[in-house]
Amino acid sequence: MSNNILIRKIDMECALCAKNHQVEERKRITKAIIKNEEVDFEEIYYLCDNCENDENEFIPAKIMDSNLLCARNAYRKKMGLLTSSDIVGIRNKYGLTQMEMANLLGWGEATISRYESKAIQDETYDSILRLVNENPMETLKFYKRNKMKFSSLRMLEIKEKIIENLNEYGKEYLRRQELESEYVCYQDPSDYNGNQTLNIDKVESIVTYFAINISTLYKVKLMKLLWYADALNFKLYDKSMTGLVYAHMPMGALPVGHYKLLGLELINSQEEYDDNGKSSYKILPSNRIDFSILSKEELEVLSSVVKKFKAFSGQQLAEYMHREIAYQQTNEKQVIPFSLTKQLLDF
Ligand SMILES: [Zn+2]
């Protein structure tokens, strides 16, 4: 592809030869230096083919501004900062004007307007914006601090919007944070997590896969199935799937943070009581079914695990697991190293 593309031809008064004629609007990838960093960005320029001399290009002021914005956004992407449209998106999520958002965060009134049009935010401001984006509880803190800057009606509306965001995704963000907090000691790939850091999206997909393919799925059985899926994947490919860490417990392997895991939004569990009042968690398929995060090999592993253990009760599966080398060579409450799954039974 040529790095010089005709967008359209426009009839206009040409800025170079001052005559009315057709001018070509073109775009090309150009380099710019922003804050001492070289970035590639898409530049739009106009071409006059009436001109005899070499200077046959010009850029109207308005286009110049949007080119500059484009170059700055290229810089932001390169440096891992939010782009101007990311910032617009965060602001719209809370239904705020530029000035209101600046007031809410306790910043100078023009700050957000500048970030959306020309200035590049520094890292401190960037991380506050990210925090506010991911976690509405943080936005609520700013709201409490700065709400007096708004009329009483606007105060109510903003608070409602924050609560709406909290209900939509904020609570789930916090649940995930809680599960992740259980894994702070397992941030690096190791024998404990099967060379894989925790991937909550994958955990959800796998649980959904089991819930769809196994009609009576209870918590005890699910926990063992997760271990078998990770263990078999490790045996075959030297890598677990989920990054969950499993402890040796009397009923078999149990993931660290399993209670928090069951609280995740996509894991549909329902507490049931038997005649003796003993409770158990039945796992139901989630409403959102998406296996695109799983590779073909991973889906094959899941399919073999389902095929083998589908008819097992939780108790039977626990007994079966007690025969595994990985279980026999670890003590109660000890983390089960994945290297021991190389000797997995019957797979
Ligand atoms: Zn011209």
Tell how far the Cα of 45 is from the centroid of ligand 1, in angstroms.
13
Q: At 267, is the pLDDT very low, low, confident or very high (cuts 50, 70, 90)?
A: confident
Tell how far the Cα of 50 is from the centroid of ligand 1, in angstroms.
5
Element (H, E) at 29: strand 20-34
Of the candidates 28, 29, 52, 54, the residue with the CA atom closest to the CA atom of residue 40: 29
Q: At 102, is the pLDDT very low, low, confident or very high (cuts 50, 70, 90)?
A: very high
Question: What average pLDDT does the structure give for the chain?
Answer: 93
pLDDT of the residue at 2: 58
pLDDT of the residue at 191: 97
pLDDT of the residue at 1: 47
pLDDT at 3 over 80: no
Q: At 277, is the pLDDT very low, low, confident or very high (cuts 50, 70, 90)?
A: confident
The 10s digit of each residue's pLDDT in 163-216 is 999 999 999 999 999 999 999 999 999 999 999 999 999 999 999 999 999 988
Tell how far the Cα of 6 is from the centroid of ligand 1, in angstroms.
16
| 283 neighbors 267 (Cβ within 8 angstroms) | yes
pLDDT of the residue at 131: 96
Tell how far the Cα of 8 is from the centroid of ligand 1, in angstroms.
15
Q: HSE (CB half, 13 Å, CA atoms) of 169? A: 7
- 13-47: b (≥16 Cβ within 10 Å) or e: ebebeeeeeebbbbbeebebebeeeebebebbbbb
Tell how far the Cα of 9 is from the centroid of ligand 1, in angstroms.
12
Of the candidates 29, 12, 30, the residue with the CA atom closest to the CA atom of residue 21: 12
Tell how far the Cα of 87 is from the centroid of ligand 1, in angstroms.
38
Tell how far the Cα of 31 is from the centroid of ligand 1, in angstroms.
26
Show the beta-strand stretches assigned E in 123-233. Answer: none
Max CA-CA distance within the chain?
A: 96
pTM of the predicted structure, to 2 decimals: 0.74
Residue type at position 16: L
Q: Distance (Å, rounded) from C-alpha 166 to C-alpha 145?
A: 18
Which DSSP state fits 166? I
**3-state SS class at 44:** strand
Tell how far the Cα of 43 is from the centroid of ligand 1, in angstroms.
20
Gyration radius (Cα) of the chain, Å: 28
pLDDT of the residue at 343: 87
- 89-103: b (≥16 Cβ within 10 Å) or e: ebbebbebebebbbb
More confident residue, 290 or 297: 297
Q: At 61, is the pLDDT very low, low, confident or very high (cuts 50, 70, 90)?
A: very high
pLDDT of the residue at 347: 77
Tell how far the Cα of 44 is from the centroid of ligand 1, in angstroms.
17
More confident residue, 275 or 110: 110
Segment 90-102 shows an average pLDDT of: 97
Tell how far the Cα of 53 is from the centroid of ligand 1, in angstroms.
11
Tell how far the Cα of 22 is from the centroid of ligand 1, in angstroms.
8
More confident residue, 133 or 285: 133
Q: Distance (Å, rounded) from C-alpha 256 to C-alpha 115?
A: 42
Tell how far the Cα of 64 is from the centroid of ligand 1, in angstroms.
18
Of the candidates 66, 27, 65, 56, the residue with the CA atom closest to the CA atom of residue 44: 27
What share of the chain has pLDDT > 70, as a percent? 99
Q: Distance (Å, rounded) from C-alpha 158 to C-alpha 148?
A: 12
- Angle, helices 219-237 vs 200-213, to 10°: value is 120
Tell how far the Cα of 42 is from the centroid of ligand 1, in angstroms.
23
Tell how far the Cα of 40 is from the centroid of ligand 1, in angstroms.
28
More confident residue, 268 or 65: 65
Tell how far the Cα of 14 is from the centroid of ligand 1, in angstroms.
4
Surrounding residues of ion ligand 1, Cβ less than 5 A: 14, 16-17, 48, 50
Tell how far the Cα of 67 is from the centroid of ligand 1, in angstroms.
21
Instruction: Read off the tokens for 57.
Output: 């290009």
pLDDT of the residue at 17: 87
Tell how far the Cα of 3 is from the centroid of ligand 1, in angstroms.
23
Tell how far the Cα of 150 is from the centroid of ligand 1, in angstroms.
52
Tell how far the Cα of 256 is from the centroid of ligand 1, in angstroms.
70
Q: HSE (CB half, 13 Å, CA atoms) of 76? A: 23
The 10s digit of each residue's pLDDT in 229-264 is 999 999 999 999 999 999 999 999 999 999 899 888
